[in-house]
Amino acid sequence: AQSVTQLGSHVSVSEGALVLLRCNYSSSVPPYLFWYVQYPNQGLQLLLKYTTGATLVKGINGFEAEFKKSETSFHLTKPSAHMSDAAEYFCAVSDRRSGAGSYQLTFGKGTKLSVIP
């Protein structure tokens, strides 16, 4: 079974400060890893994903995440927070061996990011 732990249900940063949202996972096989963002009253949008290859993954809106197998982590960062980054962020893991030609995502509980002017 796979699981995702996001440390901190709520993170506040000042505008222009570093954003760091933590995600740890457990998986019995090499996982696919994802970060999604959810703005109020909207669905989830994909920020970035790791499947294979380079462990530092760049996504939209200046976000990036690094897959660290030894730490079972996939933390999300952005060098300088912008007011528009205020949203809820979800880390997700997939067992790439899920069958039937598709894969299931298991989501963390989410981290709500507030950006202080």
Partner 1 sequence: DAGVIQSPRHEVTEMGQEVTLRCKPISGHNSLFWYRQTMMRGLELLIYFNNNVPIDDSGMPEDRFSAKMPNASFSTLKIQPSEPRDSAVYFCASSSYGYTFGSGTRLTVV
State the residues that interact with partner 1 by CB under 8 A: 34, 36, 41-46, 49, 90, 99-110
Nearer to partner 1, 34 or 81 (CB): 34
32, β-bridge pairs: 94
Please report how close the Cβ of residue 77 comes to partner 1 at its closest, in angstroms. 21
Nearer to partner 1, 53 or 101 (CB): 101
Q: How far is CA 91 from the centre of its chain?
A: 4
Please report how close the Cβ of residue 115 comes to partner 1 at its closest, in angstroms. 21
Nearer to partner 1, 46 or 116 (CB): 46
Nearer to partner 1, 31 or 81 (CB): 31
